[in-house]
Structures are given as C-alpha cells and as structure tokens.
C-alpha cells in the first residue's frame, strides 16, 4: 500500500527530461491513456500504480506480472503524479527509439516537424498523423522531447501508435536524394491547388519562425493555407495548420484511389 | 510604484469567472497580446500595469490617459499575474457583449460552437475564424467563458477582432428559419465533397460528445472528416477539426469567386 522513498523519488525524477533520458522511461497517466498503453505491445511497462477502486474495476484485465502492480492511495498518487487534477492510475513505461531502418515509407505522405517546441502542438500533431494514417512523423532534434508529459497527454494515445523519428532534414535528403520535399510557409502555392506526388515529405515550420533558413534549399515547393486577405490574424496554430495540410493531402489521395 | 491592497485584490479577483462577470472586466497579459489590445478600439482599457523597461520601450506610443498607467516591479506583476512565467505588462479591460443585431451575416459561413469547454480550443477556434474571415463565432451558453484567460491567450489577439455571440442554436433557427445548418460528426458526408450554400452555419460539437441530441433535428446535413480506416485514432482535437472544416469551406468559396 505504501511506496518506498526511493520509488517515490525515482518516479518523481521522471517528471524531468534529464532523468527520463537517463532511465529511458516516461510516465503515462489517467484512466483512458493508461488503458490505451496497457493495450499496446511496443512499450514495455515497468510499473503500474493505481487506486484500489481502479484496480477493482480493471485488475482482472491486466496482463502484467503481479509484482509490477502497486495499489496506492489518492494522496500518494498525487505525490507521484504530474497532473494538477487527481487521477486514478499512473504507469512507468519504457521509451522506444524509432529509426527509418526499412527505407522511406512507400506511397506515403509523411510529416517533418521543424522545431515544434510546444508540447501540446507536438502531441496534437501525432494525433492528427494517427487520424490520417500518416505515420511515421519525422522531427528535428530541437523539437520538444516526445516523452514530455504534455506531449503524451495531447497525443490522446497516438504516441503508442504513430512512430516518431528524430533526424535532421538534410540527413533525410542525403539518404533519399529523390525524395520530394514540400514545406508550409506564409508565401507559397495554395494548398487548395497543390497536387503532391504519391510519396513525399511535408515540412511544418514553427508558428513564429517558419521553416529554418538552412532547410529551405532542400524544399521542392512551398505551400500556404490561404486566409482572409482583410483579416488581422498573423498565423494559424501549428497543429491546426498541420491538420489542414494533412486533410488536403488525404483528400488528394482519396481521389487517386 | 506600488499598488494599493485593494487594487491588488481587485485585479486578482479577475482571475475568477465570477468576479470577471461581476465587474464586467477581464485581464490581458504579455507584451504581444497587450500591444494588440492597445491597438484596437472596441474594448475600453481600464488600467495598464507594466514594468519600467516596458514603459520605456512603449510608453510614447500609448494612447491612454496617464492616470490609467501604473509602473510596477516584476515581483508585483507576478502577484497580479495569472501566468506562470513572468511577463512585462498586464491590462484590465472592459468586456463586450455582442449580439446579432443587424441580422445574419449575408453570404457567409459562420461557426457555431456546441459546448466547447476547453479554453485552449475555444481561443484557437477564434484564431481560426480570424484567419479565414469567418466571424462572428456563435456559441452555446455552456461553452467555456470567452474571457477566460486561457481563451484570451490561445486566441493570439483574435478575441479583439472576431465577434462572439452567445445564443442557443434553436433560438438562432427560430430567428432565421431558412438558415442552412450543417454539423460535424463522426458519421456524415465527407467534407471533401461537401458543397455548402453561400451562407450558412457549421456546428462544431465537443470532442467527446459530439453535437447534443436536442440540436440534431436542427441540422440540414452532417459532414465528417474522413480518416484512415485502419487507424486507431478515435477523434481529432476540436480546434484541429474546426480548422479543417473552415479550410474546406474557404476553398469552396475561393472557387466560387
């Protein structure tokens, strides 16, 4: 019923990126996300910490070794949790590192995230890629860490389904010189008229800085989301812009089929 | 240089919805948002509280009566602020209440938000409406309060440009019986093929519950955003879905012109 001081200290250390990377673990919290995590096969679960009522409701369906399951009271859960509102269950889970080992995904449009620093946006983009079947998601090393708790929460479980690969865009281009690379920016061809090849990469820049200068020569084309010319809005949220671009790419694909 | 206890108490009370409504005021914080607020004409500014350095940089351009401007130190700003990270400037601003006085906007597609409770989503949707020139935004009385600080922040200034009108959907339909009302849901006509009339309303339901039962008989059609049939994602974020719907409506309009 009670956790040792070292266990508490260990779990709490995982609130910080440094220790998540040292231990190669991350935290998954909340009933819905925990159940999605328990259903997947790719991320080994090190420990499950849950209230008595949660264990009564879900204990029978858990395919976890008993020694990995700890019942904790709400107060203890509050101590190890990263959430501001109470929850019933917390998992400590092993991180995965994906690579593009088997080559570039054939016949697919794939996203490349350039310095997406906001964790909510990164997680929401994983969710978008999940919705449109557009994984893997590639991302620059200076993006937010994908195991950041806010990324995990915003992904709504997509983090367990959509692979994410950290790599520089120029390294990708070196490995796949014929790859068609489009980018989103304020001044480009309208996404409404854009006819992409069957496979390629769509680079999403950060909300405030767009796509970095050093990546621009790698782009085969630039597309934009037309707005109201008379409007005062400077930009769209990065995840919203990504959703719009993905929907148009998906609509083209549906027409091809 | 120093604020009275009653002033501090008053500003801090505006962190709560109840007092925002009692006083009919709200808070605008941060350099960028404050400068957008200072440029607009519709929301009277009651007071400006800023650090010395901010006032040195921007004081000359302020069109505010001197008695409305207070210099405060960073520690005091931290006490009256709602943000977790320090900022340089805070405004107390008068709320506006919009109505559809002059009739339904002609030749326009307008959004109706049904129980959008997440402030980040509500603010991001205002920003989307701003981008696509789709104001006013109509919303159900059980949505999050638009003057919630997280709505204001997420709107990135759109709150000063896009009118928002609280009303029940059935009241709207009573007032404009011929109005074409579409709704977004999981099972409907593909938004890729949807051909809307020149003017109408698009109802956005909440992420988890969709459009409420009592509003469904008011819908002329239901549209969906097609996803990957093999994917595991249950839904898109409400603001992302709204962005996609608005982009397709906007692309239809561009083709008409």
pLDDT single digits (tens) A12-42:
999 999 999 999 999 999 999 999 999 998 9
**Chain A residues with beta carbon closer than 8 angstroms to that of B237:** 124, 127-128, 154, 156, 239, 243
CB-based contact B193:B223 (threshold 8 Å): no
Judged by a CB distance cut-off of 8 A, whether residue A250 touches chain B is: yes
State the total domains in chain B.
Answer: 2
Q: How many C-beta neighbours within 10 Å does residue A60 have?
A: 7
Q: Same domain, yes or no, for A81 and A130?
A: no
Q: Same domain, yes or no, for A141 and A90?
A: no
Q: Same domain, yes or no, for B44 and B81?
A: yes
Mean pLDDT by 10 residues, chain B (257 residues): 90 97 97 93 95 92 90 94 87 94 82 97 97 95 97 96 96 94 93 92 92 96 90 88 96 70
- Average pLDDT, rounded, for chain A: 93
**Chain B residues with beta carbon closer than 8 angstroms to that of A250:** 226
Cα–Cα distance, B75 to B54 (Å, whole number): 15
* B residues 174-203 lying closer than 8 A (beta carbon) to A: 190-192
Q: Same domain, yes or no, for A86 and A133?
A: no
Pick the last residue of a domain from A94, A121, A149: A94
- pTM of structure: 0.94
Checking ipTM against 0.85, whether it exceeds it is yes
Nearest to A244 among B228, B237, B247 (CB): B247
Residue A56: domain span = 5-94
pLDDT value, residue B256: 54
Of chain B, the end-to-end C-alpha distance in Å amounts to: 56
- CB burial class (10 A; 0-12, 13-18, 19+) of residue A8? middle
Query: Tokens at residue A245, please?
Result: 């671009």
Cα–Cα distance, A72 to A29 (Å, whole number): 14
Number of H helices and number of E strands within chain A?
9, 10
Q: Same domain, yes or no, for A197 and A87?
A: no
Residue A100 is assigned to a structural domain of this protein? no
Please judge whether A237 and B239 are an interchain contact, meaning their C-beta atoms are less than 8 angstroms apart: yes
Q: Same domain, yes or no, for A83 and A187?
A: no
In chain B, the residue whose alpha carbon lies closest to the alpha carbon of A126 is B233
- CB burial class (10 A; 0-12, 13-18, 19+) of residue A111? buried
In chain B, the residue whose alpha carbon lies closest to the alpha carbon of A242 is B240
Residue A99 is assigned to a structural domain of this protein? no
In angstroms, the separation between the Cα of residue A174 and the nearest Cα of chain B is: 30
Q: Same domain, yes or no, for A172 and A70?
A: no
Going by the DSSP 8-state scheme, the letter that residue B206 receives in this structure is B
Q: Same domain, yes or no, for B124 and B69?
A: no
Beta bridge partners of B204: B113
Q: Same domain, yes or no, for A140 and A18?
A: no
Q: Same domain, yes or no, for A163 and A79?
A: no
Question: pLDDT tens digit string along A161-173?
Answer: 999 999 999 999 9
């Amino acid at each position: 019923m009670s956790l040792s001081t070292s266990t508490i200290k260990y779990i709490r250390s995982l609130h910080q990126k440094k220790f998540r990377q040292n231990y190669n673990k991350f935290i998954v919290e909340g009933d819905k996300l925990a159940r999605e995590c328990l259903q997947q096969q790719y991320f080994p679960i090190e420990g499950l910490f849950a209230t008595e009522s949660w264990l009564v409701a879900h204990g029978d369906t858990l395919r976890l070794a008993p020694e990995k399951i700890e019942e904790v009271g709400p107060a203890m859960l509050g101590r190890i949790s990263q959430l501001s509102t109470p929850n019933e269950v917390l998992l400590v889970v092993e991180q995965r590192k994906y690579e593009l080992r088997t080559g570039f995904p054939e016949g697919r449009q794939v996203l490349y995230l350039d310095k997406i620093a906001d964790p909510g946006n990164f997680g929401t983009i994983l969710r978008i890629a999940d919705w449109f079947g557009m994984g893997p998601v590639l991302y620059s090393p200076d993006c937010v860490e994908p195991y950041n708790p806010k990324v995990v929460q915003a992904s709504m479980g997509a983090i367990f389904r959509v692979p994410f690969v950290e790599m520089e865009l120029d390294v990708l281009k070196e490995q796949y010189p014929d790859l068609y690379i489009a980018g989103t920016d304020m001044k480009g061809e309208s996404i409404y008229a854009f006819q992409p090849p069957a496979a390629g990469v769509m680079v999403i820049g950060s909300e405030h800085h767009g796509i970095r200068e050093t990546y621009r020569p790698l782009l085969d084309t630039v597309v934009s989301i037309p707005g109201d010319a008379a409007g005062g809005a400077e930009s769209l949220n990065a995840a919203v812009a990504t959703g719009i671009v993905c929907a148009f790419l998906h609509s083209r694909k549906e027409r091809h089929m």
